[in-house]
Structure 1
Amino acid sequence: MYWSRSSDKAGHEYDLLPFLLVVLTITSIVISEPFILIIVGFIVVFMILIQLYNRQIGKKLILENKRRSIRMFEGEEAEFDLVLKNQSILPIFNGFVSFTTDEKVGSERFVRFNQKRKNHFHVPLLLMGKSEARIPISLIARERGVVHIKNIRFSFPHILNFEQVILSYQGLYQTEILVYPKLSPVAGIDDFPYNNFGNQVTQFSPFEDLLSPVGTRDYVPSDPFHRIHWKASAKGQTLQTKVFERNRNISWTIIVNIAESSPLGNVYLSPMMEKYIAQAAYICQTITKQGHPIELYVNAAKVGSMPFQLGSEGGREHLKKAFELLTRIEKDCNVMSMTNLLYRVDHEINDSNIVIIIGDVQRDSLHYTNKWNRRGNSVLHVSEYISGARLTEIKNEGLAVNDTK
């Protein structure tokens, strides 16, 4: 049973009825008045019906609870149905469904009041016997985060004694609302067209995959002799040159530092955390639209001091995973030092040839950025300028200096 029952009354108002019934029965026998026994019979039947009804309350009331996720960006509106099924033949009149959500979402309907950063919803409901009711809930995304619907209650008057019955849902309601972060533009993403040999097919690249021929073309004097396709040349009675797939590798590793360090080395959440997450979301979306794979690291610590991490991949589904990872970072999460995060990245980074760091780059971090530069990676940093955020290159000596910053 997923519902627990309570009442808005103490429930002791019928405790004296058995004693009263005994007194009435004895009185009826003593004075030989059968009409009193009829009254006693009605009261007994009424009490039995109340007990039978009380035992059935909530047993045939089902809240549809499928696992689902509702995804929105800030400012967007989405709607879902909260479905209640009454499998009993008895109707429920003048009922109310109530629940709470975080203030990360809001609504123009059914919000009764706000308290302690919680929205308290109150929805009137009539539920006939052997029927279901679909309650449309419209929500507006206000700030980044994950929202769950909690404290679901169904209250209605008792059909016999008119007490207010309150049923509290005991299960976990499996609908979650994901409010994606804002997209904060970062300029300069197209200013670093670094190519390595890889498996991304492209029209323009200095690299060719000699194991992947795609056809032939007419021979020109500058073509190497070993590139001539002799069989095709004999068939067409003119020299033909082999054409191979042109490949490249442009893959990105995005590192988000949401922490700051005190002069004593203590690590705490940066007040710029939301801005850094918004910049990371924009970069992930832009690079994915260009068709390049991304991997993502954030020094928000999970249980066991593990960072938030997403492996290298591309495509729309991978972008959705990146947005969800950024969405699930709590505003009061634990953080790990940037040095510990970069140590982990250094041991796991493989194919990426471009590394982006968002957030503070401290002197301790330069050990790893210099190491990656020497290895051939391009290391970039999101720097703030008067005109807005822009990618700048981190050289071996540290961040590049720009007078317009």
Structure 2
Amino acid sequence: MKWLRLEEGFKSLHQTMTVSLVFLLFSIIYLQIIPAALFAAVFFMCIVQNVYYLNVGKDLVFIPNKNQTRFLIGGENDLVLEFENGKTPIWNGVLTLSIQDAVVPLVDDTSHFSGIFDFEVPFSAGSREVISISIPLKGRKRGLSRITRITLDVPHIFGEGSVLMELNDPVMTQSLVYPQIVSFDDQLNPAPFKPGELGQRQSLFHDVFQPIGTRDYVYSDRFDQIHWKASARMQKLQTKEFMPVTAQSVLFILNAIEKQRSDDDFEQKVERLVSYVGYALKNDIPFAIVVNIRTFGTTPYMYLATGSGKVQYQKALEMLARLSERNAKIPFEKILQSIQTQGLLSPTVVLITHEPERYVNFTSKWSTHNRVVVDSFYERSETVALR
């Protein structure tokens, strides 16, 4: 790891060395033993200090750690930084860190400016010593926090001056703060329009591998659905009844474009989506997520493929934690058109957006074959379900 060095106070140190050397020579010439000893001691201390500060920190190595620390809002965890020192020990140093404000350091002195927390921790390292610094952090708000700057200040022991070192390489350690998890009080009903595995009281489809009983035969019943043993026992024809089933897969579409004159529109949408995701995990519902934020790859927008369970839930939280209102966004109409063209629609589609009337052309068309829920709770405190 490379460090940028800024040396301050060496000019006055060199001047002190020169003056003490001159007076030392005069004291020797005039045979003044006590002044000569004093000036020799000062000159020796200046030489030692000069040599020390020319070499201090040159072999210091920051050990990169690519681990990612995860937080809930209000939760606490430790950020661990490791350093390996060289031959020259470091005494009385001060390590200054700048970290993005999704987390807040739990230390005595911090300053907060323009989305960055600056704070200091003491730093000392012996010769060829590997040290570990643990910094307590607390989740402050949803987002990704990186260390943007690390500096080490080693002051002079005698007199004024210091050696200031700044890490010139990026720090890969990250702190990820998950969104606020809000409970979902409503019920997300499955779509009855497509076959699946979820039992549903009213559905157009049945699972022939799940018989649930028999009923009296009617002329429209198929011949292979007759239950012959039950018919012999009842002395009249009986038809097998099967479990009515439907598909329970949900596509969540989030409009990341913020509503005008609303400061927390984006965060409200993300929290609403998290509540849906938590509901899907609790009820074992497969889900996918689409967000109209531009990405680089085969899919130009953020897309989490369909999955279920805790692994899918973890992926969703991490994806939503990385979202930022500063990301480049794609018009929501283009996203809806792309989803429709590529056939990504699930049996149930949930749109989390403001101004839902702008997208009636899409929702009315989709509702003929899918269950469509338009969620704009933060505008009129209501959720509109189409079919």
Q: Counterpart in 2 of 1:12?
A: 11
Q: Counterpart in 2 of 1:144?
A: 142
Residues 123 and 14 of structure 1: CA distance in aligned 2, closer, same or farther (over 3 Å): closer
Please tell me whether residue 128 in structure 1 is matched to residue 122 in structure 2: no
Q: Counterpart in 1 of 2:322?
A: 328
Question: What is the aligned counterpart of 1:355 among 343, 349, 357?
Answer: 349
- Residue identity opposite 2:384 in structure 1: T
Structure 2 Cα separation of the partners of residues 38 and 74 of structure 1: 63
Contact 2:60 2:85 in 1 (8 A): yes
Q: CA deviation at 1:379?
A: 0.4
Question: What is the aligned counterpart of 2:97 among 92, 99, 105?
Answer: 99
Structure 2 Cα separation of the partners of residues 134 and 320 of structure 1: 29
- Residue identity opposite 2:142 in structure 1: R
Structure 1 Cα separation of the partners of residues 81 and 21 of structure 2: 48
Q: Counterpart in 1 of 2:232?
A: none
Structure 1 Cα separation of the partners of residues 121 and 275 of structure 2: 38
Q: Counterpart in 2 of 1:58?
A: 57
Q: CA deviation at 1:109?
A: 1.5
Q: Counterpart in 2 of 1:235?
A: none
Contact 1:186 1:389 in 2 (8 A): no
Q: CA deviation at 1:378?
A: 0.4
Structure 2 Cα separation of the partners of residues 110 and 76 of structure 1: 18
Q: Counterpart in 1 of 2:236?
A: none
Contact 2:3 2:166 in 1 (8 A): yes
Structure 1 Cα separation of the partners of residues 263 and 327 of structure 2: 11
Structure 2 Cα separation of the partners of residues 111 and 273 of structure 1: 32
Q: CA deviation at 1:52?
A: 5.7
Structure 2 Cα separation of the partners of residues 385 and 298 of structure 1: 18
Normalised by the length of structure 1, the TM-score is 0.73
- Residue identity opposite 2:341 in structure 1: H
Residues 377 and 123 of structure 1: CA distance in aligned 2, closer, same or farther (over 3 Å): same
Structure 2 Cα separation of the partners of residues 192 and 243 of structure 1: 21
Residues 227 and 59 of structure 1: CA distance in aligned 2, closer, same or farther (over 3 Å): farther
Q: For residue 12 of structure 2, give the secondary structure of its aligned residue in structure 1.
A: coil
Contact 1:356 1:379 in 2 (8 A): yes
Q: CA deviation at 1:287?
A: 0.7
Q: Counterpart in 2 of 1:380?
A: 373
Structure 1 Cα separation of the partners of residues 381 and 177 of structure 2: 23
Residues 203 and 52 of structure 1: CA distance in aligned 2, closer, same or farther (over 3 Å): farther
Deviations 1:50-102 (A, max 9, x none): 676455433321222210111212111111222222232x3322111110123
Deviations 1:248-282 (A, max 9, x none): 531101111232578xxxxx987511111100011
Structure 2: which 5+ runs fail to align?
228-239
Structure having the larger proportion of residues in strand: 1
Q: CA deviation at 1:5?
A: 1.2
Q: Counterpart in 1 of 2:250?
A: 252
Question: What is the aligned counterpart of 1:291 among 284, 295, 298?
Answer: 284
Identity of aligned residues (%): 22
Q: Counterpart in 2 of 1:80?
A: 79
Structure 2 Cα separation of the partners of residues 149 and 371 of structure 1: 47
Residues 7 and 43 of structure 1: CA distance in aligned 2, closer, same or farther (over 3 Å): same
Q: CA deviation at 1:148?
A: 0.7
Residues 247 and 46 of structure 1: CA distance in aligned 2, closer, same or farther (over 3 Å): farther
Residues 94 and 48 of structure 1: CA distance in aligned 2, closer, same or farther (over 3 Å): closer
Deviations 1:221-259 (A, max 9, x none): 989875899xxxxxxxxxxxx999997531101111232
Number of aligned pairs?
A: 371
Q: CA deviation at 1:377?
A: 0.6
Question: What is the aligned counterpart of 2:162 among 156, 161, 164?
Answer: 164
- Residue identity opposite 2:145 in structure 1: V
Q: CA deviation at 1:207?
A: 5.4
Q: How does 1:187-266 map to 2 (within 5 A)?
A: 187-192=185-190, 194=192, 196-198=194-196, 200=197, 248-259=246-257
- Residue identity opposite 2:278 in structure 1: Q
When structure 1 is superposed on structure 2, of 291-300 and 279-288 the one drifting more is 291-300
When structure 1 is superposed on structure 2, of 177-186 and 91-100 the one drifting more is 177-186
Residues 335 and 270 of structure 1: CA distance in aligned 2, closer, same or farther (over 3 Å): farther
Q: Counterpart in 2 of 1:400?
A: none
Q: For residue 281 of structure 2, give the secondary structure of its aligned residue in structure 1.
A: helix
Q: For residue 12 of structure 1, give the secondary structure of its aligned residue in structure 2.
A: helix
When structure 1 is superposed on structure 2, of 150-159 and 41-50 the one drifting more is 41-50
Q: For residue 11 of structure 2, give the secondary structure of its aligned residue in structure 1.
A: coil
Contact 1:288 1:294 in 2 (8 A): no
Q: Counterpart in 2 of 1:115?
A: 113
Contact 1:258 1:270 in 2 (8 A): no
When structure 1 is superposed on structure 2, of 153-162 and 274-283 the one drifting more is 153-162
Contact 1:186 1:391 in 2 (8 A): no
Please tell me whether residue 393 in structure 1 is matched to residue 379 in structure 2: no
Q: Counterpart in 1 of 2:359?
A: 365
Contact 1:187 1:391 in 2 (8 A): no
Residues 245 and 123 of structure 1: CA distance in aligned 2, closer, same or farther (over 3 Å): farther
Q: For residue 340 of structure 1, give the secondary structure of its aligned residue in structure 2.
A: helix
